[in-house]
Amino acid sequence: MDSIIENFFNLEIYRQVLPYLLNGLWTTIWLSVIVIPLGAIAGLLLALGQTQSGSRWVRWTVIAYVDFFRAFPPLVLLIFLYFGLPFLGGDVPKLAAVVIAFVLNNASYFCEVFRAGIQAVHKGQMEAARSTGLTRMQALRYVVLPQAVRNVMPDLLGNCIEVVKLTTIASVVGMPELLRAARDTQSLVYNPSPIVLAALLYLVMLWPLTRVLASLEKRRTGMAGH
Amino acid sequence: MNEANSGFLFTFFNPAVAAQYWHEIARGMVVTIGVGAATVVTGVAAGLVLALARATGRAWLRLPVVLFSDITRSLPPLVIIILLYFGLPALGMPLSSFTSTWLSLSLVLAAYAQESIWAGLSSLPKGQMEAARSTGLGWWQAMRWVLLPQALRRAVPPLTNRVIATTKNTALGSVVALSEILSTAQASAAVAGNPTPLTVGAFLYLLVFLPLVFVARTLEHRSSNRN
Amino acid sequence: MSAPILELVGLKKSYGSQEVLRGVELRVRPAELVCVIGPSGSGKSTMLRCCNRLEEPSSGQVVVDGQDITRPDTDINRVRQSVGMVFQHFNLYPHLSALENVTLALRRVQKKDRAQAEAIARDALTQVGLGHKADAFPAQLSGGQQQRVGIARAIALKPKVMLFDEPTSALDPELVDEVLRVMRALREGGMTMLVVTHEMAFAHAVADRVVFMDGGVVAEQGTPAEVFENPREARTRSFIGRYMDAKSASPA
């Protein structure tokens, strides 16, 4: 029991490393804040392409994109871009490789979520809107998309949570986010406590969101649940 | 520009380097598949058991399951892997990179599988259990023959997505020295001084996971058509 | 006077502070068809569901064929084979065919082998007029057909008494008759039946005894003639009122 506290919940070490971890946490947060909107917008555009385009080629390209990035592990994508982009010329900042890799990966998941939401909106909605003279764009903007987003709110939130968890991958290429800070300090103090502290920080950040997600899902399916 | 382009191709698609190192990386693929398959089996099985425990309605079973599920889904998988691999030795329980990766990913998949199956069970009308019990079926029999078949069918789309996401995370094992595709590719690239092995690794990943994605799409189609 | 197949003694049920059943006394004799009528909230369905302990009584006893099934040591699964139930919303298993819906309990509870179970099941389905639909799935059947499969599922176990919880309330009007017809045929075959229903005409014409429930107790009971044409209680009269007016207005 003592050795558990000594090695995992060492308050002295917590005190020492907390400033470093908080710096890392800050990086995690702004990295997420950059990636989420970019991924969501890209995903929405892809989903619109897939559901609204008359062209078979556009639809299949989107599906191919989505399937490709669903099959490709994000860590591998990151390593590829991180080592590969410099070859295309110029000095590419580490951050660019990380953001591009994350957005490419995440846009495919946002696309799937938006697609499901759009397809869940009754076809009659678009028909009704068009029959009152609204253009396609307007119908989408004022009638279809608001309902689509409401349909998949839980999944959108779930995806945001996934992005925050995804940021840990950037630790592998030295990005100073929370996990990197934890691992660096761990090797300095020869004690796994920093990693446990980092885990606790992730929990503090993400557990409330997971609970919100659970209650959103309950409301969606209208179940009493436990 | 031409020089840079051919340089790019030569760098990333160098046939000689590929030929030299591809078996090494293919061996990594076996590990990727091995860890992935093991994770799916234990993760889904554990998730099923947890969902059933929760379904009994008894608080002493339900609360730990919900607690476990919440915590596990709120942690990045890489953090769990690193915790197990670097943390447990301090308790005198060192785990191999295979075991750390497999165990972490199984825990994560179990939590998500539990949620999906539980959601499937909860979405069934209460009358199903009542009808089954009214004909004399016991609780477990009713689960086995009436409720679970329906719940599992509903759980398939979210579950297949989660299985793919989790098995892709076997790549994270490279961070704790698991000799799967990524780490063998990286090692080979370092030795060769050329990134072509990474390209080989990328192809092998697609080889393993694109079929899974296609299966997932087909399963989603079929279950949505049936509904 | 033969011993009752089903007996409710001082049955009480509360949900928290809300008392739904306040001491129900009821006896159902073999081969009797008893119809229970009453306003919403009178506790009719709750009372019915206590008979096979889908609802647990707060106090009182439920005695099935001489056995007090409210005792904690009762093998409730065994008891439920003798007490059949038909639900308002049918509750058929959507992933199983009509035949499989009926054979499930025969095979898993009564441990019959497949051939035996199927023979019994087909027999039950034929009895309700759906022998030709054995391989259909619930989604392919109309509401009336689904309810008849529900009845077949219950009678296949050869119960001693059948409970019907508003069996036609969820049906479109034109589908109600086929179910009532099956229920009449069952009664003619000698089945003991306790039916909670809004179908006053059915109760009036077919029941041996009508029970009027109100406010968690049996307010009045008697033959259909007694209850419908000569109710003693004022509340019975006002509940029956609308039905009897409509009946006397139109040629019977």
To the nearest whole Å, the CA of B182 is away from the closest chain A CA by 7
Share of chain B above pLDDT 70, in %: 94
Average pLDDT of span C184-198? 94
Q: What is the pLDDT of residue B96?
A: 93
What number of C-beta contacts closer than 8 Å exist between B and C?
67
Share of chain A above pLDDT 90, in %: 54
Q: C25 near C219, Cβ under 8 Å?
A: no
Q: What is the pLDDT of residue A33?
A: 96
In chain B, which residues have their Cβ closer than 8 Å to the Cβ of A89?
Answer: 4
Q: Does A88 contact B91 at a Cβ distance shorter than 8 Å?
A: no
What strand order describes the sheet that includes C192-196?
Answer: C83-86, C161-165, C192-196, C33-37, C209-214, C217-222
Q: Does B82 contact A179 at a Cβ distance shorter than 8 Å?
A: yes
To the nearest whole Å, the CA of B149 is away from the closest chain C CA by 8
- Please name the residue of chain B whose CA is at the shortest distance from the CA of residue C81: B136
Residue C82 has pLDDT above 50, yes or no: yes
Confidence band of B224 (pLDDT split at 50, 70, 90): low
Average pLDDT of span A31-35? 96
Both tokens assigned to A85: 């982009």
Name the pTM for this structure.
0.83
Q: Does B127 contact C87 at a Cβ distance shorter than 8 Å?
A: yes
In chain A, which residues have their Cβ closer than 8 Å to the Cβ of B195?
Answer: 83-84, 87
Q: Does C109 contact B145 at a Cβ distance shorter than 8 Å?
A: no
Q: What is the pLDDT of residue C132?
A: 96
Cβ-based interface (< 8 Å): residues of C facing B: 52, 54, 77-81, 83-85, 87, 89-95, 104-105, 108-110, 150, 153-154, 157
Taking the Cβ of residue A74 and every Cβ of chain B, the question of whether any pair is shorter than 8 Å is answered with yes
* Angstrom distances, CA of residue C173 to CA of C144, C169, C180: 10, 9, 12
- The closest CB to that of A67, out of B82, B123, B210, belongs to B210
**Mean pLDDT score of chain C, rounded to an integer?**
91
Strands C209-214 and C217-222: antiparallel
B57's enclosing H/E stretch is none
Average pLDDT of span C193-207? 92
In chain C, which residues have their Cβ closer than 8 Å to the Cβ of B136?
Answer: 77-81, 105, 109-110, 157
Q: What is the pLDDT of residue C29?
A: 94
Residue B1 has pLDDT above 60, yes or no: no
DSSP state, C55? S
Residue A224 has pLDDT above 60, yes or no: no
User: Which of A124-133, A182-191, C242-251 is least confident?
Assistant: C242-251
Q: Does C93 contact B136 at a Cβ distance shorter than 8 Å?
A: no
Cβ-based interface (< 8 Å): residues of B facing C: 125, 127-128, 130-138, 141, 145-146, 149-150, 153
Amino acid at C101: N
- The set of residues, in sequence order, having a beta carbon less than 8 Å from that of C202 and lying 6+ positions away, is C35, C180, C183
Q: What is the pLDDT of residue B2?
A: 47
Partners of chain C (3+ Cβ pairs below 8 A)? B
Residue C252 has pLDDT above 70, yes or no: no
What's the CA gap between C130 and C153, in Å, rounded? 12
Q: Does A72 contact B182 at a Cβ distance shorter than 8 Å?
A: no
Confidence band of B5 (pLDDT split at 50, 70, 90): low
What's the CA gap between B105 and C177, in Å, rounded? 57
Count of alpha carbons within 13 angstroms of residue A197, beta-carbon side: 29
DSSP string, A6-68: HHH--HHHHHHHHHHHHHHHHHHHHHHHHHHHHHHHHHHHHHHHHHH---HHHHHHHHHHHHH
* Angstrom distances, CA of residue B2 to CA of A11, A178, B199: 59, 41, 21
Lookup result for tokens 């979405």:
B123
- Please name the residue of chain C whose CA is at the shortest distance from the CA of residue B127: C91
Residue B226 has pLDDT above 60, yes or no: no
Q: Does C105 contact B137 at a Cβ distance shorter than 8 Å?
A: yes
Taking the Cβ of residue B214 and every Cβ of chain A, the question of whether any pair is shorter than 8 Å is answered with yes
Amino acid at C2: S
User: How far separated are the first and last CA of chain C, in Å rounded?
Assistant: 33
Q: What is the pLDDT of residue B93?
A: 85
Average pLDDT of span C33-45? 92
pLDDT in tens, B41-100: 999 999 999 999 999 989 999 999 999 999 999 999 999 999 999 988 888 888 999 999
β partners of residue C212: C37, C220
To the nearest whole Å, the CA of C46 is away from the closest chain B CA by 14
pLDDT in tens, A73-109: 999 999 988 887 776 666 778 888 899 999 999 999 9
Q: What is the pLDDT of residue A223?
A: 40
Q: Does B79 contact A198 at a Cβ distance shorter than 8 Å?
A: yes
- The closest CB to that of A202, out of B7, B70, B76, belongs to B76
Q: Does B133 contact C80 at a Cβ distance shorter than 8 Å?
A: yes
Partners of chain B (3+ Cβ pairs below 8 A)? A, C
Q: Does C105 contact B125 at a Cβ distance shorter than 8 Å?
A: no
Confidence band of C250 (pLDDT split at 50, 70, 90): low
To the nearest whole Å, the CA of C243 is away from the closest chain B CA by 31
In chain C, which residues have their Cβ closer than 8 Å to the Cβ of B132?
Answer: 93, 104-105
Q: What is the pLDDT of residue B225?
A: 63
Would you tell me which residues 86-145 of chain B have a C-beta closer than 8 angstroms to some C-beta of chain A? 86-87, 90-91, 119, 122-123
Residue A114 has pLDDT above 70, yes or no: yes
What's the CA gap between A113 and A46, in Å, rounded? 11
Q: What is the pLDDT of residue B10?
A: 73
In chain A, which residues have their Cβ closer than 8 Å to the Cβ of B70?
Answer: 207, 210-211, 214
Percent helix / strand / coil, chain B, rounded to 5: 90, 0, 10
Would you tell me the crossing angle of helices B148-168 and B196-226 to the nearest 10 degrees?
Answer: 160
Both tokens assigned to C16: 């928290």
Q: What is the pLDDT of residue B91?
A: 82
pLDDT in tens, B171-194: 999 999 999 999 999 898 888 888
